[in-house]
Amino acid sequence: MPDLKELYQQVILDHNKNPQNFHKVEDANRQAEGYNTLCGDRITLYARLENDVITDVGFEGTGCAIFKASASLMTQALKGKTKAEAEALFDKVHKMLTGELDPSTQGNQLGKLAVFSGVCEFPVRVKCATLAWHTLKAALEAKNEIVSTE
């Protein structure tokens, strides 16, 4: 039986309650929206990319604890990373969420993001944990900079 404590680790519960970078990035030059139709998770992701390096990233939205904690920890992990490094990290996170990578035996390349390793036992929740990452990818791949509406 999958263990609820493995899924809802304290770090996840803390980030759900107090998400980091949970705000709009005023000077963002990348932006994308993500939506999970299954449960209604909704995110707007903002990033500032300078010379291929993510200098700032933040998000707004509503959703479940797994989604919110994932977006929060993702933004923390991304600052200072290049676009290629961010994409490589998503690849590792994705492998962990689908059970292809076990952070406890395969080195701690994931840092704090390893707290999501329990999600692979809950297949319907994988989408919750990957939504922010997919949205990040869409934001980074956008060819044109978002024109500010303000």
**How many angstroms separate the CA atoms of 62 and 34, rounded?**
11
Question: With 0-12 CB in 10 A as exposed, 13-18 as middle and 19+ as buried, what is 113?
Answer: buried
| 11 scored as a contact of other proteins (CB under 8 A) | no
We find the least distance from the C-beta atom of residue 104 to other proteins, in angstroms, to be 22
Q: Which of 1, 143, 144, 149 touches other proteins (CB under 8 A)?
A: 1
Q: Which of 20, 22, 39, 81 touches other proteins (CB under 8 A)?
A: 39
Q: Which of 23, 27, 33, 38 touches other proteins (CB under 8 A)?
A: 38
| 4 scored as a contact of other proteins (CB under 8 A) | yes
Question: Closer to other proteins at the Cβ: 7 or 114?
Answer: 7
| 8 scored as a contact of other proteins (CB under 8 A) | yes
